[in-house]
Amino acid sequence: MFDPGYLERNPFFEAADSKLGIVSPIATIYRWAPPQPVKAWTVRPPPVRGDPLEAVWFKQARGAVVYRGSAFLSNYLENLFIPDAERHVVHRAVLVENGLNCAGVGPADEQSTEFLLSTEPDFHPTQIINAPDGALIYYHLAQPAAAVSLEVVDASGTVVRHMSSAPIIPVKEAAQPPEPNFWLATAEPLPTAAGTNRINWDLRTDDPPAFTHSFEINANAALTPPSPEGPLVPAGIYTLRLTVAGKSYTQPVTVVNDPRSPATAVDVRAQYALQMKLAAGLRASWDAYQQVAALRALVAADSALPAAKAFDSTLAAVSGNPEPRRGGGGGGFGGGPAPPPTFVSVNGNLVGLINALENGDLAPTPAMQASYAAGCTDLKTALAAWQTASTTGLAALNAVRAQNNLKSITVSSTGLPVPICPTR
């Protein structure tokens, strides 16, 4: 696999095919052999258990998956499962090395049969997926609950994930996603029904707030969440804290490193530390924008005052526009100095950085650390501008308001932590 940009710059380089044939479409598979019609032009009746199996080939193979769960025995791990809706079977292939390639071969115990086959004519398997990522959690409610919450606490006592039974509002981009809606994951609140309920923690922290979201397609139906997502937590012991009707129950859960990951525990910890700094920056830029927006709403009531209009323009230059006009320009010809950072622009830059760290387990590179330092500095600049506007700028506006017999506008203490940025 090569970056498309590399191939475009090197037209004479013959790259290997990015697609690899694992199982031939004319590979032999087996299905129940339906009885032959009594006479021509009659419909063949469905087969029944006990009928012989007949060798056929794939007809509607789709939705294959490499099994990476733990429900089956270890000899099923990393096997390829291929459903065929027309043949009413699920075919299993063991992946073996074939030089530099990989091939799928039939298991020794399934040479003349299939992993799963059915005589039911309505059995049309089309998609196979692995179990939900992370930890499966079961809890039993003796009666329906008004509210249920679950917190994940790390070894230091910090709550890294909050889940509850409250309704979850989808991100605005979910209304018009870049791919068909059936690919998108729908976040579900915790169930409150009486009986045994099952949920899963995907081993991630809370999603950081962002003004824009994207969908990095998972290629499994209903499993593509919006990005940015909260970072994956490193290996360690965590505590699940379930709260129902004011009473809490705890249970430990151990997170282990993926054995396939080439990264060391130190690498993963360093990556997580940088991701959490980025998530903190996203939260700070989001909260600061909300504070500016609240002040702008108060200032808007005095739009007739020239001083109010001027002050609103100052606030807009600090907050930024979360929904810029499409097709708008970004400066004149010949370039020029970059505009001062806004909370929206800082948030967008940090989103790109935290998404880039989702590409795999790896220690942050110097370039990644430098990008974070730049984003952190921009955040400090925007926070300083907001501090000046909410004190000196607001005081000047209130002086004008007093001259016009209007009450002063007050803002609550910002309470926004100023990040400590690394030197570049």
- Given a cut of 80, whether residue 146 has pLDDT beyond it is yes
Q: pTM for the full model?
A: 0.80
Q: How far is CA 141 from CA 59, 197, 274, 325, in A?
A: 46, 8, 39, 49
- Given a cut of 50, whether residue 161 has pLDDT beyond it is yes
Share of the chain above pLDDT 90, in %: 68
Domain residue ranges of the chain, discontinuous segments joined by +: 20-117, 135-255, 265-322+338-403
- Given a cut of 70, whether residue 327 has pLDDT beyond it is no
pLDDT value for 18: 63
Structure-block tokens of residue 183: 């690919």
- Comparing 5-9, 107-111, 231-235, 264-268, the range with the smallest average pLDDT is 5-9
Helices 394-403 and 306-319: crossing angle in degrees, nearest 10, is: 160
* pLDDT, tens only, 37-48: 555 555 556 666
pLDDT value for 333: 46
- Given a cut of 80, whether residue 15 has pLDDT beyond it is no
pLDDT value for 227: 96
Q: How far is CA 289 from CA 56, 113, 296, 347, 414, in A?
A: 62, 62, 10, 10, 11
- Given a cut of 80, whether residue 326 has pLDDT beyond it is no
pLDDT value for 276: 98
> Using CA atoms, how far apart are residues 19 and 396, in angstroms rounded to an integer?
65
Output 250 or 334, whichever has higher pLDDT.
Answer: 250
- Given a cut of 60, whether residue 1 has pLDDT beyond it is no
> Using CA atoms, how far apart are residues 31 and 24, in angstroms rounded to an integer?
17
Structure-block tokens of residue 120: 């039911």
Buried b (16+ CB within 10 A) or exposed e, 241-275: ebbbeeeeeeeeeebeeeeeeebeeebbebbbebb
Mean pLDDT score, 318-327? 79
Tokens 């199996």, located at residue: 53
**What is the chain's mean pLDDT, rounded?**
89
Mean pLDDT score, 142-162? 98
Q: 83: which strand partners?
A: 90
Q: Which amino acid is at 320?
A: G
Q: 214: which strand partners?
A: 227
Q: Which CATH number fits domain 135-255: 2.60.40, 1.10.1760, 1.10.30, 3.40.1710?
A: 2.60.40
Backbone CA torsion sign across 160, 166, 171, 176:
positive
Backbone CA torsion sign across 174, 178, 182, 184:
negative
> Using CA atoms, how far apart are residues 419 and 51, in angstroms rounded to an integer?
71
Band (pLDDT 50/70/90 cuts) for residue 332 is: very low
pLDDT value for 130: 85
Q: Which amino acid is at 231?
A: P
Band (pLDDT 50/70/90 cuts) for residue 311 is: very high
Of the candidates 172, 185, 273, 254, which has an alpha carbon nearest to the alpha carbon of residue 221? 185
pLDDT value for 414: 64
* pLDDT, tens only, 289-307: 999 999 999 999 887 899 9
* pLDDT, tens only, 222-248: 889 999 999 999 999 999 999 999 999
> Using CA atoms, how far apart are residues 276 and 232, in angstroms rounded to an integer?
10
Output 75 or 11, whichever has higher pLDDT.
Answer: 75
* pLDDT, tens only, 369-409: 999 999 999 999 999 999 999 999 999 999 999 999 999 99
